[in-house]
Amino acid sequence: MKKFIIYILISLGYIACEPKNTNTPSENSNQTIPADYALVIHGGAGTITRNNMTPEKERQYLDALHKALDVGEGILKNGGSSMDAVVQTIKILENNPLFNAGKGAVFTHDETNSLDASIMRGSDLNAGAVAGVSTVKNPIMAARAVMENSEHVMLSGTGADEFSNQQGLEIVDSKYFYTEKRYDALRRIKEKDLGFRVVDEDYKFGTVGAVALDENGDIVAGTSTGGMTNKKYGRIGDSPVIGAGTYANNATCGVSCTGHGEYFIRWAVAHDISAILEYTDLSVTEAGEKVIMDKLVKVDGSGGAIILDKFGNVAMPFNSEGMYRGYVKPGERVVKIYKE
């Protein structure tokens, strides 16, 4: 009996001294303890395969995604807000001509650049968006200004450009947005009268976005795009539409989408993912799969989304050939392009 009691005491001591599991949960996990911070990004989805990607081009995209994550994580690690992290991360992507946003925006049928962006704060569901701007260097900054400094949610066209100028944002000549790659893509479409059919991987899927969770538990989501190559009549997609291309709610998750915008608007994709988490017990992975891989696939809606919940769980579903994407948490970083 005495030996048995000693054995029990030794066993309890071992259990008490056993180190806790400090591994950070990976994508597709279902962590229920809030992470210190988390950031997930995308750079667009589409016909992105190894066959049409040179090693040099692949490295450029990977480096760009890592640079964006570096900036956002630096803010979050130092106690910064998810709002600042999302804006500064998206600015990095907007300033990189590899992506269809900001500097790399595609051309409209009229050979101009028309840019959209939105941002949403999960703590109070406040949001701001701009559509059809043409002189703001960083549309995500304009979206934030609309949210914080106006009574509106969305401004468009010349009015949005004028508001941005009055807010002291950096204004550029329209020539700033010119890139030979995007202009050549437009010319190829026009010459063949292809309308919206695919001639390059970014013709309708190129968008950038970020979702961040900070140490206060606040979630912010943002999205920015140049839209569709050869778009006409002032067409606006899902990126500046709250609930379609962007959504954030501290009680559920933050979402930023990329894809064929008309479908994401009709199916209110970003909000639908949040609502599934609010009204069911599904994980972020299951919610994303249900909307992106089931609902959209059934109606031929192509694209993807990045999702980040209040615990720091990440999902990055897409039903296209590839999606530029990545996330970072304490001690963990993942950057991907292709299907696994």
Please give the tally of structural domains in the chain: 1
Name the amino acid, one letter, at 64.
A
Tokens of 195: 């309308």
Provide the sign of the torsion angle of the four alpha carbons 258, 263, 237, 119, taken in this order: negative
Indicate whether 12 pLDDT > 60: no
- For the cut 50, the answer to whether the pLDDT of residue 13 exceeds it is no
| Tens digits of residue pLDDT in 64-74 | 999 999 999 99
* The pLDDT value given to residue 323: 96
CATH number at residue 312: 3.60.20.30
289: containing domain = 24-338
User: Which residue(s) pair with 209 in the sheet?
Assistant: 42, 223
In a domain, 14, yes or no: no
Q: Are 322 and 67 in contact (CB under 8 A)?
A: no
Q: Please indicate, yes or no, if residue 245 is contained in any of the structural domains.
A: yes
Alpha helix (H) ranges present in 120-234?
139-149, 157-166, 180-192
In sequence order, the 6+-apart residues with CB closer than 8 A to the CB of 17 are none
Write down the mean pLDDT value for the chain. 90
Instruction: Give residue 193's pLDDT.
Output: 66
Residue 269 lies in a domain: yes
Separation of alpha carbons 135 and 151, rounded Å: 22
Contact (Cβ atoms closer than 8 angstroms) between residue 161 and residue 136? yes
- Number of CB atoms found within 10 A of residue 191's CB: 9
- Distance of alpha carbon 18 from alpha carbon 264, whole angstroms: 48
Each residue of 223-240: pLDDT tens digit? 999 999 999 999 999 999
Residues in the chain: 340
Calculate the CA 30 to chain-centre distance: 20
Active site residues: 207
DSSP letter at 200 equals S
The CA-based angle 331-43-330, given to 5 degrees, is: 10
The strand ranges marked E within the chain are 38-46, 115-121, 126-133, 154-156, 208-213, 219-225, 246-248, 253-259, 303-309, 314-315, 322-329, 332-338
β partners of residue 233: none
Q: Which of 108, 99, 335, 79 is nearest to 214 (CA)?
A: 79
49, HSE (Cβ side, Cα atoms, 13 Å):
6
In this prediction, what percent of the chain has a pLDDT beyond 70? 88
Decide if pLDDT at 305 tops 80: yes
The reply to whether 19 falls in a domain is: no
Mean predicted confidence (pLDDT) in 176-205: 73
Q: Judge whether 10 lies within some domain.
A: no
**CA distance linking residue 143 with residue 45, whole number of Å:** 22
- DSSP class of residue 20 equals P
Assigned domain for 18 exists: no
Pairing of strands 154-156, 126-133: parallel
In a domain, 285, yes or no: yes
- What mean pLDDT is predicted for residues 111-129? 98
Q: Cα–Cα distance between 199 and 249 in angstroms, integer? A: 37
Q: Is the pLDDT of residue 313 over 70?
A: yes
Quote the DSSP letter at residue 290.
I
Q: Parallel, antiparallel, or unpaired: how do β-strands 219-225 and 115-121 relate? A: antiparallel
Please report whether residue 13 resides in a domain: no
Confidence of residue 8 (pLDDT cuts 50, 70, 90): very low
